[in-house]
Amino acid sequence: VSIGAGVGYASPDGFQLVTLSGVQNLTADVFTRDQWQALGPSTMHAYWWDGKIVIFHDAGAVVLIPGVPGYVSLDVLADGAYVDPTLDALFLLQDHKVTQFDADDESLTLTWRSKVISLPRPGNFSVMQVMGRNLGLQVVADSVDGETWAITAPGLHPLPGGFMAREFELEVTGTGEIDSIELAQDVAELAGV
């Protein structure tokens, strides 16, 4: 797929972006090779739409934003698609019908998982600040899924204590909007004090 000043394609190791500066694996920090292979890169088709790379595979879609870590996973299937640059619209071929993606008010469920956050020594985050609403947020510590919190409004949220970990991930699911998530060891750290 043509992406601005470059070209992107699904390789066996991840989604590659080729520009005059070289080749960059855009999914290196979010998918292991085995996870990427499980999506079936040989079946993928990708589209550049509204500043995003929308990649369809046999079980759904992955949305990447170049320069923004992480990805969004959608349970939307499409046999093909077309980006109309005049309308700035993405049209999908689904069950022999053409539909416009994101054209109605029905919200799709999103799933976003961060890259692994590695600490130099075991620690724990005690508070998170979430700028978003109508989401479920889960902290994964050393590959163990934690409790899922319902985020109904922006603000500070305490995290459970009593354990230490070296690697953390965040997973967000829901139909709401999210601007940012910050983890900290205390409230003063969030304030930059």
Give strand pairing partners of 159.
none
End-to-end CA distance of the chain: 45
Q: What is residue 39's DSSP assignment?
A: T
Cβ atoms of 15 and 53 within 8 Å: the answer is yes
What average pLDDT does the structure give for the chain?
87
Query: pLDDT-derived band of residue 124, with 50, 70 and 90 as boundaries?
Result: confident
What three-state secondary structure class fits 161? coil
Question: In this predicted model, what pLDDT tens digit does every residue of 133-186 receive, in sequence order?
Answer: 888 888 888 888 887 888 888 888 888 777 889 998 888 888 777 788 888 888
Q: Report the Cα 163 to chain-centroid distance in Å.
A: 27
Confidence of residue 193 (pLDDT cuts 50, 70, 90): low
What is the model's pTM? 0.60
CB 113 within 8 A of CB 30: yes
| Long-range CB contacts for residues 65-72, cutoff 8 Å, separation at least 24 | 66/3, 66/17, 66/26, 69/29, 69/30, 69/114, 69/115, 70/30, 70/112, 70/113, 70/114, 70/115, 71/27, 71/30, 71/112, 71/113, 72/110, 72/111, 72/112
User: Averaged over 78-83, what is the pLDDT?
Assistant: 94
| 163-172 tens-digit pLDDT | 889 998 888 8
How far CA 46 is from CA of 69, 79, 152, in Å, comes to: 18, 11, 33
Q: Are 54 and 81 in contact (CB under 8 A)?
A: yes
